[in-house]
Structure formats: C-alpha cells, structure tokens
Amino acid sequence: MARKLKGIAAARGVAIAPIVHFHTTLDHIPTWKVTAEGVDAERARLSGAIATVAKNLTDLQRELAGSLGKHDVRIYDAQLSILHDATFRRDVEAEVGQQQVNLEVALQRVIARYEGVFAAMENPAMRERAADLRDIGRQLVGALLASERQKYTADGIDYLFAADEFLPSDAGILDRAHIRGIVTAHGGKYSHGAILARSLGIPAVVGIEQIMLESATGGMAIVDGDAGLVVLDPSPEELAEYEQRLREQRAVDRRIAEVRFQPSVTPDGTHVHLFANAEGVRDLEALEVDAIAGIGLFRTEFAFMERRQFPSENEQVAMYRRAMEGAKGKPVTFRTLDVGGDKPLGYFRMPEERNPVLGWRGIRLCLDWPDILYTQMRAILRASALGHARILIPMVSARSEVVRCREVLQQLTTDLKATGVPFDPNIELGVMVEVPVLVHVLPDVLPVADFVSVGTNDLVQYLLAVDRDNQRVAKMYDPFHPGVLRVLKQIADAADTAGKSASICGEIAGDHWFTPILVGLGYTELSMAPVFLPRVKLMLRSFTKAECRQLAARAVAMQSTREVRRLVQEEIQPRWVRQLGSNEEARR
C-alpha cells in the first residue's frame, strides 16, 4: 500500500526508482588516553589528516567543476576554510592536551561544540552550516583511520539515495550515472548538500525523519522535489501520473533552450518583466543577464553575514559596483540590510527576544542605528553612477519609516552633489510589503515611495500564522490560500491606483503554476531564483492576459485552498501540458 511522507522540497524535479539506504557515518571511533608525551604525535597526525582531506576536497572540486556552476563549486572553498581555520586547529589540539584524549575523540567533541553554536542560530541558512562541520569531521576521522569511503552505487541500476543526510563530500562518491533522486532524514533547503543537488540537477527531498525506518532498500519509490513529497510503494495509478510528469519534465528541458533568450510575453503581447534574485555578487557570475530584465532583489545582508565586522563604506561600494557591472546596465534593486530575526550577525550583539522574527529586525534595526543605514545608502548611491539602482526597504510597517528613509536619501544626495561625487539622480526608493498591516496603509505610503515589492515568503507566513521552516506546521503554509490571493490583489490594485509598479520577489514568483494567477492579479514584474526563470517564461506563453484575469478572479472568489489548487490542476496544468505537446509536435 502506498505511503506518502512529507518533507522539505530541496531540489526540483521528479524521480522514480528503487530506494537504497546508505550509511554516511563511521561505524566505530577508537578511544584511548593520550599522555603528555603523546600530544606532539597527535598534532602530527592532525597535520597529516588535514593535508589528506584538503587534497581530496581540491580534487573533488576540480572533478565537479564541469558539472557545477562557479558559485556552487565554491562550497568546497567553505569546507577548505574550515579545515585550515587556525582557531579550529587550536581547539582540537587543546582538547587533546587538556582532556588527554586521542585525536579522533577530540575532533568529535570540538565539532559537537561548534554544532551547538550553529544549532542555536535563528537563521536556517546558518544553522545548516553545521552540516559542513560534520562533514569535515567525518573526513578527518576517515583519514586518521585510513578508511577509504566506498562509492554509493546500487550495482549498476538506477536508484534513489536515502541517508541521514547528504553532505558535500558525498557528491564525490555518488554514482552519478545511475542516481535519480535524493531523500534524507535531516537537512534543509539551504544546506550545501541541497544546493549541490540543485546544481547537479538531482531531485531531492530532505527533512523526512522517518525515511530510514519506514522505507526498505530495494522498494520502489517516487521523489517529488517540487512538492517535497516521497511516495513509498506507489500504486500503478501514481506511477502512471508521475511517469507523465517525467515526460513533461523532459519536454520542458528541451523547450528551455528554445525560449531562453526570447521575450517574456503572453500570446496576446502582454510583456511581463522577469528579474533574478541574487544573494551576492557571486550569483551574477553564472547568470545569463541577456535573458532577464535585471536584478529584482539583491540581498545585501549575506555579504554582512560572511564577515567578522561591518564592512566599511568603501568595501560596500566595491561590492555594489561589481553588482552594477554584472547587471550590464540593467536595473539592480538593493535591499537594505535585513538582519535580525532569522538572520543574526555574529559580531553585532542583538537582544534576546522571545519571538525574533517579529522583533528588532530589518528597517526597525537600521533606523535605531542610523549609521548603518546612512553608510549603506551612501555606498549604493556611489555605485549607482554605473547604471540604474533601486533601494528597497524591508520590514516596513508605517509611512513614518519610509519618510525617514526618504529624508536620509535626500540628505545624502545633497551631500554627494556638493562634493562632486557622481550618482544616479533617478535612483528609486521602494518598500517591501511583508508586514500585513502595511497592506492597509499602502495608499498613505505610496506617495512617498517609488515602487512596491511584495516579499511573499514572510507575508504569507505572517498572514497564515505559520512558520514555514517548522516541519510540524509547514504543510499549512500555502500561498494558494484565497485570503492570501485577496491580499495580493489589494496590493496590486493600490499600486496601480497610485501609478506605481508592483512586483513579487518571494518564492511564488518562481512557481510557474502561480504565474497566470499573479499576472491576472495585476503583477507584470516577477523576481525569482534564476533556475525558475525558464519555466515561468514558458508558462507565460500559455495564457493570454484576459485568461489570466479570469483565472485570478475565480481563484480570489473561492472559499478554500483546496478549491484554488483544483483550479490549478484542472485549468492551468492541462494547458501547460498541451503547450508542451504542441511544440513537441511542431519539432517533429
């Protein structure tokens, strides 16, 4: 009988194959007491193990360079930096000397302490860096024990990789010719393992704690990386449904190459501007700028989070200029520092808060520390001389916050003019709509803002009172809720009345099943992770603007999420399949 296990969608796509269990931990760690005379010998063993693991990682990085993007290959740079970190080495050596334990045990203890620090962080992306530490520890212990890791194979047949977690070093011993999907008990969508799965094009679902207990090696299973679902022992009907999706997936892949550089336009000529989201300058290196309208969301906080202190104005200018150059004259929307809540800075003391996601974060923090905002805005202005820049303010809840930011911007432009420093005189100031109350006061806010960008990730979880990173309630997080759709329409209508542009920059912008509804609600600017751009562009070619409006009107009038999803299933999905099929016939 079929069983469905819900997890977290980590890498898109569908895979059907027998599931095979792999155990990624070492079975036995030896323990012995180290005398004072033996400490130097353990230090020498550590040096040898570090050299061995560093060579293995460098070799793996070279091996995968052709399969991964430049940015994703640098995941191994992060591991190498941990490996060569002087503090890490001192802590391990101190553990050996002070506790008189052998190196293998010392490594386990130090890494466990480090993991505890990461586990306490609110930011999911930072929490998942603990997996890199575990991976380094496993590799070092393996090198110390001279144990050669076996390649993950299933005797030459296609298989689904099932394990407690998928770590970066596992990518080097995968049988990539036969692996079809990945499913793990632990991990998240921001983990380096998930990032590698996406880059390698392997569908993946993570965070299914019971996967190793409820599945059996050799049993047929389906990994649905779109829905975050694993189906064990699927029925013939379920197999047929997913095999159809696989055929569709292959058709999409063929069509992507054809439309990649074509305009993003509906059949009746309505242009929808597709932008890319970027977490840093490195994301732009692999981006096909000719295929997008610009950078709709540049998350500046990640550059701050990677440092040990606040970057200076000149350091920020250099970063923002690289972003402007990478965009090749197309607009770049820089979101001002959005830390606090789930994105803390290690070098900036934050108060203890019972609910940090609703606390001192985003523009609230920056207005209380105006030097941070002043420096960042000045840096963006200086970089804007290279093209068209836009400034986006996060976590806005009142007109007064926008007015204060506008005053800072005006003061800065006056100062730059007086000193002869070039900048874009047409720079725009926009508000990010993610706090529900802002929706109701948008008519008051829009006269002092130039544009609106809807951050649906937070907006939806605030509207539904659902933590989307909490596995217990994540299934309740559903942007297709009619109440969410009505709020999105209210935002688009308010922006249209004020003559201001409104865009979506949350995850739903990259969900092609959502595309016709968003266009019908009045959004003609969508910003998303680059990987989703081709599918969204394909979907735009399936519905006219009038059809999109009709679909959106019907969805908004519905009374349940189930009804809206049925509308998607019955009206949007068949048209998508027909569009792919008709183009396939044309190819023949």
Question: How far is residue 184 CA from its own chain's centroid?
Answer: 18
SS3 565: helix
Catalytic position from the list 192, 405, 481, 548: 192
Crossing angle (nearest 10°) for helices 192-200 and 130-144: 90
β-pairing, 220-224 vs 14-21, is: antiparallel
C-alpha distances out from residue 543 to 235, 426, 449, 480, Å:
33, 35, 32, 19
**Residue 389, token pair as written in the block:** 């820049």
Longest C-alpha distance within the chain, in Å? 81
**Residue 373, token pair as written in the block:** 């905002």
First vs last C-alpha separation in the chain = 40
Q: Are 444 and 399 in contact (CB under 8 A)?
A: yes
- Dist. CA 301–CA 196, nearest whole Å: 22
Supply the DSSP symbol for 333.
Answer: E
**Residue 66, token pair as written in the block:** 């052709």
- Dist. CA 390–CA 405, nearest whole Å: 13
Strand (E) or helix (H) holding 401: helix 399-419
- Dist. CA 13–CA 532, nearest whole Å: 12
Sole residue written with tokens 């804007």: 384
- Dist. CA 25–CA 43, nearest whole Å: 24
Beta bridge partners of 433: 454
Instruction: Assess whether 505 carries a catalytic annotation.
Output: yes
- Dist. CA 452–CA 497, nearest whole Å: 13
C-alpha distances out from residue 214 to 3, 8, 249, Å:
9, 17, 28
Catalytic position from the list 71, 186, 366, 505: 505
Number of H helices, E strands in the chain: 24, 16
Instruction: Assess whether 178 carries a catalytic annotation.
Output: no
C-alpha distances out from residue 6 to 216, 228, 387, 438, 458, Å:
17, 6, 45, 33, 22
Contacts of 303 (CB under 8 A, 6+ apart): 280, 281, 311, 316, 319
Active site residues: 192, 505
